[in-house]
Amino acid sequence: MLSGFNNNYRYRGVLFHVQTEDSGISNPHVITHLFYGGNILASQKLDYSDKLESPDLEGVVRELMETQHKAMLKRLQRGLHDSVILERLGPDAFSEAPLEEKSDTDAALVGPEDANDTDTAARLDPAPVAATPAAPAAERGNRGFGEGVVSQKPLDEVVLEYLVENARKRKRRSQ
């Protein structure tokens, strides 16, 4: 099981979180979620059971993860999730930001050669996408899921670290 990708991405003034994880060879699929405030707005799941015999399975899965992660970010950037966002967050979700507002991450997502490319996964650079820095508290209004925390660790490792740290704190208090 490979560690995943996590990015915060500010789109039209609203902070979203995109997370991609590999479920491992016992459950061979890559899943990507688009979050707002801890709620999943969109998901994409890709089964790779047909690639389990690949001599470079780790490299193949890493490429699938990167491609799917970037495709979700590009769909968000291009407004393909706007209807779901407006339905779930309300008609004023984007009221404070103009439609053409761009994030610092945009340059890493769309180069001049693919700015008009409608196939979101066709010509993607395999390098990881940089996360957008979190805005100061006064500027951001609502805090987005995972804001200020970007990790290459899978969710199960993050949860385990949290549980271990809390157990250590309880042990120190009891001594």
Instruction: Find where tokens 């804001």 sit.
Output: 147
The model carries a pTM of: 0.57
Q: Which band of pLDDT confidence, cut at 50, 70 and 90, is reported for residue 105?
A: very low
Looking at the chain, the whole-number percentage of residues with pLDDT higher than 70 is 65
- CA–CA distance from 111 to each of 89, 106, 114, 129 (Å)? 30, 8, 6, 12
pLDDT digits (tens, 9 = 90+) for 81-103: 999 999 998 888 887 544 444 44
Record the tokens describing residue 128, joined without a space: 């990881």
Q: For the chain, give every domain's residue range.
A: 5-174
The pLDDT, as a whole number, for residue 164 is 82
Is residue 30 scored above 90 in pLDDT?
A: yes
